[in-house]
Structure formats: structure tokens, C-alpha cells
Amino acid sequence: MTDLVTTDGVPGAREADVDKPVRRSRRMTGPQVVGHARATAAVCQAAGCLSAQSDQVFEEITAQLIADGVTDVAVKRVGCLGLCAAGPLVEVPETGELFRQVSPDDVSDLVTRLKDAKPVETKPALEPFFSRQHRVVLENCGKVDPENIDDYVSRKGYRGLTRAVTELTPQQVIDEISKSGLRGRGGAGYPTGLKWATVAKQPSGEKYVVCNADEGDPGAFMDRSVLESDPYRVLEGMAIAAYAVGASHGYVYCRAEYPLAVQRLKAAIHRAEKAGYLGAAIAQSTFKFTVELRLGAGAFVCGEETALIASIQGGRGTPVPRPPFPAASGLRGKPTLINNVESFASVPVILREGGEAYAQVGVGKSRGTKVFALAGRIVNGGLIEVPLGIKLRDVIFDIGGGVPDGRKFKAVQTGGPSGGCIPEDLLDMSVDYESLLAAGSFMGSGGMIVMDDTSCMVDVARYFMDFCREESCGKCVPCRVGTTELHMMLTKITEGRATLADLVQLESVAAMVRDTSLCGLGQGAPNPVFSTLRYFRDEYLAHIVDHVCPAGVCALSGGESVA
Amino acid sequence: MLRLGHRPDALIEVLHTVQQSFGYLDDDALRYVSTSLHVPLSKAYGVATFYSLFTLRPQGEHTCVVCTGTACHIKGSTMILNRIRSRFGIGPKQTTADNQISLLTARCLGACSIAPAVVYDGEAKGKQAPDDVIARLEEW
Ligand SMILES: Cc1cc2nc3c(=O)[nH]c(=O)nc-3n(C[C@H](O)[C@H](O)[C@H](O)COP(=O)(O)O)c2cc1C
Ligand code: FES
């Protein structure tokens, strides 16, 4: 698995995988390693595995190695190893072994293996979950200790920033980003180079760079994993952006539901300042950039950029109509660059390896790779990164391992509450911005939720409408009233009380909400309804005409009920 | 508050800190925050009610947060809520009569690959079956 980075064509440093000197911090450290470590137990310390006691796994392995007097095996805390559903995970990079569901009560097997582990020339063939991926943004994820800046630097960290500020003009940096073809990873896919150029050409003076780490889409955890596993990469990307657009201050707006990400970011900001990668005279140049962290407080709409700005300023997160776009007038009325976590995390590689190298992978106008979070009814739930243009079927069946328990795949939901459900017939489509849009869905931030025949598509549509209804900020009428109205109609259908006339009305109200809402929340809210009507109209009809829920989810009152 | 500076734009951070220390935001707390940060009380109140993570009422001894995000919904978080309601008689945002357990919901905790996820007094757990949840709550 260590080879993932190298074999995939993006040269990644191997040197840091082994033998990091054992640290000195308040945290319990690994065993004292004398000389070079022969093997390393890399224990995942991202949120998924931590909730299954991976911190105790770390401590147990360490304790046993110390008790047995082993001095040439290191134990290391790393970020997300990807296969979250099988956590706690421990990887031994030297042998390519991945241990799953390691219980803190029983690490003796693992310790025995570690004691006689030897680095191997040819590692065991990777399973499709790993071999079909292409890791660029996640190149360090599960490799570096997220709290150790030296580890990041030893894996080519900060080379992109150093190159930018010492060798390139801001315009050349923007050109590099434009050449890469990178598009916003937060949802809409706006070309990143173009956005940077717009902010750069505003009159000089106070400007801001803002990282959108609100990750509000339910069922998505890409940004969380990146922040928890490789926080310096995001800060490096922000610093490069600041240099390019002429900003000297930035904010990360992170949702408060992610305490670990917040904690690691705080630590990373502090250490990057001490190491001279944030603050004054970055990388020995005259460039200056500082970053502050701001917390959300549980409002989905704050992911929308104008609402986010209102929230950073300490107010209620209500959107305002654009234009003016934040690029011209954003935070405190100053030109503001807002990008998503993953967009910023893609930037260091682009500056390090060049925009053209980055654009090598991809399809059409969707270049590079995209991180997805696989969840729902899928065997290998977890964090993955794939080249854009990969077939949806390959993502779900090769990488994801398909649907568990011998059940039948029904749909995959992408794009969160503004997205849609893609049915089985379309599984051979390419995963890119345009194709997803054409299929009535949306790239969104990267959550993919797989559903099988136990999910009712009307219930799913109702679920998302309930979400939008609750999260509507209430400022504009079509969204505030419309989502409530739509939710009532969908409830009526799931309860078996609707008629065919209601279905007609559902469609017309949905179109009205889409066309007249103020911001993306309301405009996108009807999308799950449209997409389920487009591909699963028969399920609506079953509820309305036959009074049955084919999946057995809804409790229908009218007529007979199957539930 | 000193650490954050008395800046009006630090309102959300300050409210987080106050809630962490006292468990909820009462009138006195909001009044104090509004004078110290020089923001109108109406704004402090407006912000405190806009964001769902802020609560204006005291919580029970223990809190249980059930994720109702998409992945958890697909994997049966509704069943968990139903079971809690029938066993303890509380729904989301409610506290048991003996003030022991407060039930809350969240829209995705980012633990979707181990759905359904539940947080017990700040400790997140994945793959929770309704029985696991009930057993855990009964210990409180
Ligand atoms: C209702 C709504 C919620 C959004 N939530 C997020 C979010 O959680 N994270 C995010 O990065 N972008 C979110 N966006 C998109 C942002 O408005 C913005 O387009 C994005 O942060 C720009 O960054 P990018 O160009 O790098 O994608 C949301 C948009 C809308 C309308
Ligand atoms: S949907 Fe429950 S953790 Fe994401």
C-alpha cells in the first residue's frame, strides 16, 4: 500500500514511511526505536477508527512491544487509511500488510507479526479497493503523522509553496492553476484558476482567502478526513492562493461537529507559524500570510459562500444575492477568495509537479482526481480518490465491493441535498461534472451513498426535503414555504394519502422553488424529487395508486400496507 | 473572551465557549456576552437561536446525539429514535423527566462509513444497533 503513491505515477516520497524518530509530546509516544525501524505499525487516528478505540490500539501495541523489549519496530499515528468500515486499521508499510478490525483487547497476533516482519521487495498484490484508486490529494493520508510538520515536509510538503514564492510571480502561479484545469471541489465546479484571477485583478489593498470547511452535505466526510489526516496540505494550498491573489490574511471556517479536525487544524496553524510556513517572511521571502480558525455552529446554509461570510463576521448565516460576488466584495466588503478544503488541498501538488502533470488524468473539462466518501449499503465504505472520468460502476463495484448481504443495488445518491439518485441503468456513465449534471445529479462535494432494495426512493426524497426545510434560513419565501409545502406533499405520498393530482402539483411546486429561490439551497432542494421522479416514478405510483411501499419502508395508512 | 479579544465578529466563538462551560446559554449569559462584545442583545439572541448547536435550555446529566444524516438514515437511525422514544419517552431535543438523558440529533457526524453513528456524552460510536443504544442508555 505504501507504493500507492509511486505506482500511480505521482512520484511520492518513500523516505518518510520508516524510522521517524520517536517524538516527545504529551501524547503517549511509540516505543523507543534504536537506529532504523525495521517495521512500522501505522495506526489510524482519524475519527472513524478512533470511535472504535484505535487510540487504545496504539497504546496496546506500544506497551507490548516495550514489554517484549523490541527496539526496532516503530509505532506511528497516521491519518485515514481509507477503509473506514473495517476499522480500526493498522498498516505495516514495509510489508504492505493491512490489519482490519484490530481490537485493543487482542493485539498479540499483530505484535507477533510485527516482531518478525521484514521489508519485502514485492508487496502482495493490492486489492481493487486500493489498486483502482489514484491518490493525489490523499497522497499523505495514512502516511504522515497529522500533527508532525517535519513528517509533512519530509514527504515533499511545502515544496509547492516554496517554489511559488521564491521562483514564480503571482500571475505565473495562477497560470499554473489554470493549466491544471482544477475546478472547485466544493460543489459547483467553478474553474479555480479563473476565480483566483478575478480576485487577483481587484485593486490591491486588503483581501482575504477563506477555506470552506463547513462540509454540510450529510453523508460526506472527505474534507473532514483531509483535515484530520493532512492539515498542513490545506494550509499550504491557502498560502499559495494568498500569494497568487495578494492576500495576507485568511480564515478556515470549519463546522463545529468536527472537533478533531478543529483541534488538528489549530495545532497545525501554530506549528506552521513556528516553522516559518505561515506568518511573516514565509519560506524566507517577503510574503506574509496568517490564518485564523472560525467555527460554524450547525447551520447547513453556512456552506453557501455569502452565508459563510456573514457567519465569519459573527452574524446569522443568511445568504445575500450575488452579484456582487465575494471575489469583488466579500468579507468586510473586501475581495475574498473562497475555495473548498479539497480544492486547496489539490494546490500544493499542482505547484510542485506543474499544472500540466496534474491535468494528465481526467476527462473532458474535468481534470485531475476527486475524493469521494463511500457510504450506505456498500461493502467497502470509506474514503477514496479516483481519476475523474472513471466509470461509476467501477467505483461502486470494484472499489466499493458492491452491495453487502447479497442484496440488489438500487441507486447511488451523489451531491447531497441538491443532488440526485442515479439508477442501475446508468452505472456505466463516467464520473465527471458534466455527466453527473446530465444524469440529473450533481458532483457536489463528493458523498456517494449507495442504496439497495431496502431503501424507498420516495422516502429518500422526503428525507432530503425534510433536511432542506429544516436548514432553510427562512430569508426568501420560495425556499422557506416551498420546502415545507413539498415536504408535506411527499409525506402524504409516503403515508398513502396522495392522489395523482398531488403528483402533478408536486412537480409544479418543485419547479417553482427551483426557479425562484435566492440561493443554492432552495434552488437545489427540489433536485432529489426530480431525479427520483425521473428514474423511480413507478415507486411514487405504487404508493399513490396501489398503496404499497415496494421497499417496505413507509407505513401507509390508506389501503393495505406492507410495512 | 480575553483570548478571543472583545471583537464583535468573535460572537460565535464566544457563545461556543460559554456553552461549553455552562452547558447552555441563559439570558444572563447572553446579556453578558452582548455587553462585552458590544453587540446588541437582539443580535446575540438572533445568532444563538439561528444556529442549531446552541441551546437556550439546560441539558440533562447525559446527552445522546443520534446522527440522522443520509448514511445513518439509510442504515436505520429512525429505528434508533423510535426505540428511544418508546423506552424513555423522549424525542429529539427533549430530556427525560428525571433529568438524566437529553436526546439530540445531528445531520452527519462524518462517520458515515460506520453508520449509524451515535455520540454518548461526547464519545462517538459507530455501527450502533437499536439494542446497543438502549443498553448503553440504560446504564446512565
Ligand atoms: C446550500 C449550500 C451549501 C454549500 N455547502 C458547502 C460546503 O459545505 N462546503 C463547500 O466547500 N462548499 C459548499 N457550497 C458551495 C460554496 O458556496 C462555494 O461554491 C464553494 O465553497 C466554492 O469553493 P470551490 O470553488 O473550491 O468549490 C455550498 C453551496 C450551497 C448553495
Ligand atoms: S450520515 Fe451519519 S455520520 Fe454521516
Q: What pLDDT, on the 0 to 100 scale, is given for residue A5? A: 29
Classify each residue of B36-54 as buried b or exposed e, where b means 16 or more C-beta atoms within 10 Å of its C-beta. ebebeeebbbebbebbbbb
Q: How far is the CA of A184 from the centre of ligand 1 (A)?
A: 9
* CATH at A425: 3.10.20.600
**Within a domain: A182:** yes
Mutation target for B interface from A129, A221, A300: give the one with most B CBs within 10 A. Answer: A221
Question: Is A184 a residue whose pLDDT tops 90?
Answer: yes
Ligand with smallest separation from the Cα of B74: 2
Q: What pLDDT, on the 0 to 100 scale, is given for residue A92? A: 92
**Within a domain: A139:** no
CB within 6 Å of ligand 2 — which residues?
A: A 218-219; B 67, 69-72, 108-112, 115, 117
Choice from A340, A370, A443, A464 to test ligand 1 binding pocket (greatest atom count within 8 A of CB): A340
Do A157 and A292 share a domain, yes or no? yes
**Within a domain: A375:** yes
Do A281 and A336 share a domain, yes or no? yes
Cβ–Cβ contact B12 with A under 8 A: yes
| Closest C-alpha to A297, from A257, A265, A339, A262 | A257
Do A352 and A371 share a domain, yes or no? no
User: Tens digit of pLDDT for each residue in A117-131?
Assistant: 888 877 777 888 888
Backbone angles phi, psi at A369, to 5 degrees: -115, 165
Three cell numbers at A243?
Answer: 500569494
With pLDDT > 90 as the criterion, what percentage of chain A qualifies? 74
Q: Residue A132, CB half-sphere, CA atoms under 13 Å: how many? A: 19
Residue that has been written with the C-alpha cell 438523558 in this structure: B101
Is-contact A257 A263, C-beta < 8 A? Answer: no
Do A325 and A401 share a domain, yes or no? no
Domain boundary among A301, A334, A359: A359
Residues of chain A with C-beta less than 8 angstroms from the C-beta of B120: none
In angstroms, rounded to a whole number, what is the distance separating the alpha carbons of residues A61 and A318? 49
What is the average per-residue pLDDT within B46-74?
91
Question: Checking DSSP bridges between strand A382-387 and strand A369-376, what pairing results, if any?
Answer: antiparallel
In angstroms, rounded to a whole number, what is the distance separating the alpha carbons of residues A41 and A125? 19
Classify each residue of A95-124 as buried b or exposed e, where b means 16 or more C-beta atoms within 10 Å of its C-beta. bbbbbeebebeebeebbebbeebeeeeebe
Choice from A212, A513, A514 to test ligand 1 binding pocket (greatest atom count within 8 A of CB): A212
Do A46 and A15 share a domain, yes or no? yes
In angstroms, rounded to a whole number, what is the distance separating the alpha carbons of residues A486 and A539? 17
- DSSP-assigned beta bridge partners for residue A384: A372
Q: Is A305 in the pocket of ligand 1 (CB under 6 A)?
A: yes
List, by residue range, all CATH 3.40.30.10 domains of chain B.
Answer: 62-139
**Within a domain: A379:** yes
Residues of chain A with C-beta less than 8 angstroms from the C-beta of B111: 47-48, 51, 84, 221
Mutation target for A interface from B3, B6, B74, B82: give the one with most A CBs within 10 A. Answer: B74
Q: What pLDDT, on the 0 to 100 scale, is given for residue B1? A: 53
Do A448 and A468 share a domain, yes or no? no
**Within a domain: A142:** no
| Mean pLDDT over each residue of chain A, to the nearest integer | 89
Residues of chain A with C-beta less than 8 angstroms from the C-beta of B7: 314
Do A355 and A370 share a domain, yes or no? no
DSSP string over A82-131: S-GGG-S-EEETTTTEEE-S--TT--HHHHHHHHT----SSPPPPPHHHH
Question: Is A13 a residue whose pLDDT tops 60?
Answer: no
User: Tens digit of pLDDT for each residue in A342-356?
Assistant: 999 999 999 999 999
Q: Is A160 in the pocket of ligand 1 (CB under 6 A)?
A: no
Q: What pLDDT, on the 0 to 100 scale, is given for residue A330? A: 93
From first CA to last CA, the distance across chain B in angstroms is: 34
* CATH at A298: 3.40.50.11540
What is the average per-residue pLDDT within B36-65?
90
Q: What pLDDT, on the 0 to 100 scale, is given for residue A2? A: 34
Question: Is A101 a residue whose pLDDT tops 50?
Answer: yes
Strands in A420-423's sheet, in edge-to-edge order, are A382-387, A369-376, A447-452, A409-414, A420-423
Q: What pLDDT, on the 0 to 100 scale, is given for residue B117? A: 94
3-state secondary structure of A457: helix
Q: What is the ipTM for the molecules in this complex?
A: 0.90
Q: Is A346 in the pocket of ligand 1 (CB under 6 A)?
A: no
In angstroms, rounded to a whole number, what is the distance separating the alpha carbons of residues B61 and B96? 10
Residues of chain B with C-beta less than 8 angstroms from the C-beta of A413: 70
Atom of ligand 1 nearest to the CA of A305: 17
CB spacing of B107 vs A218 below 8 angstroms: yes
Predicted model pTM: 0.90
Residue that has been written with the C-alpha cell 429505528 in this structure: B79
CB spacing of B43 vs A294 below 8 angstroms: no
| Closest C-alpha to A57, from A102, A93, A87, A111 | A102
Cβ–Cβ contact B113 with A under 8 A: yes
Cβ–Cβ contact B39 with A under 8 A: yes
Which of B13, B107, B111 has its CB closest to that of A47? B111
| Closest C-alpha to A196, from A165, A172, A230, A166 | A172
User: Tens digit of pLDDT for each residue in A360-391?
Assistant: 999 999 999 999 999 999 999 999 999 999 99
Cβ–Cβ contact B121 with A under 8 A: no
**Within a domain: A305:** yes
Distance from CA of B44 to the nearest CA of A (A): 8
Do A385 and A348 share a domain, yes or no? no
Alpha carbon distances (Å) from A8 to A185, A358, A396, A397, B99: 21, 12, 20, 21, 56
Which residue is closest to B14 within chain A, CA to CA? A314
Domain range B62-139, CATH class: alpha beta
Q: How far is the CA of A338 from the centre of ligand 1 (A)?
A: 9
Do A445 and A466 share a domain, yes or no? no
Residue A36, Cβ neighbours under 10 Å: how many?
A: 9
Alpha carbon distances (Å) from A203 to A135, A170, A200, A246: 38, 14, 8, 10
Which of A84, A300, A314 has its CB closest to that of B113? A84
CB spacing of B70 vs A50 below 8 angstroms: no
Task: Give how many domains chain A has, as a whole number.
Answer: 4
Distance from CA of A73 to the nearest CA of B (A): 30
Q: How confident is the model at residue A87 (pLDDT cuts 50, 70, 90)?
A: confident
- Domain residues for the domain of A106 are 2-124
Do A106 and A155 share a domain, yes or no? no
**Within a domain: A407:** yes
Distance from CA of B37 to the nearest CA of A (A): 11
CB-based contacts of A61: which residues, under 8 Å, 6+ apart? A41, A43, A75, A90, A107, A110, A111, A114
Q: Is A471 in the pocket of ligand 1 (CB under 6 A)?
A: no
User: Tens digit of pLDDT for each residue in A419-476?
Assistant: 999 999 999 999 999 999 999 998 988 999 999 999 999 999 999 999 999 999 888 9
Domain boundary among A299, A331, A359: A359
Q: How confident is the model at residue A24 (pLDDT cuts 50, 70, 90)?
A: very low
Do A415 and A306 share a domain, yes or no? no
Cβ–Cβ contact B62 with A under 8 A: no
* CATH at A551: 1.20.1440.230
Q: What pLDDT, on the 0 to 100 scale, is given for residue A444? A: 87
Domain boundary among A335, A359, A383: A359
CB spacing of B112 vs A224 below 8 angstroms: no
User: Tens digit of pLDDT for each residue in A283-341?
Assistant: 888 999 999 999 999 888 999 999 999 999 999 998 888 888 999 999 999 999 999 99
Q: What pLDDT, on the 0 to 100 scale, is given for residue A120? A: 81
CB spacing of A296 vs B69 below 8 angstroms: no
In angstroms, rounded to a whole number, what is the distance separating the alpha carbons of residues A336 and A314? 17
Is-contact B110 A258, C-beta < 8 A? Answer: yes
Is-contact A334 A205, C-beta < 8 A? Answer: yes
Is-contact B30 B41, C-beta < 8 A? Answer: yes
Where are the strands (E) in A377-460, listed by range?
Answer: 382-387, 409-414, 420-423, 447-452
CB spacing of A314 vs B39 below 8 angstroms: yes
| Mean pLDDT over each residue of chain B, to the nearest integer | 90
Do A334 and A475 share a domain, yes or no? no
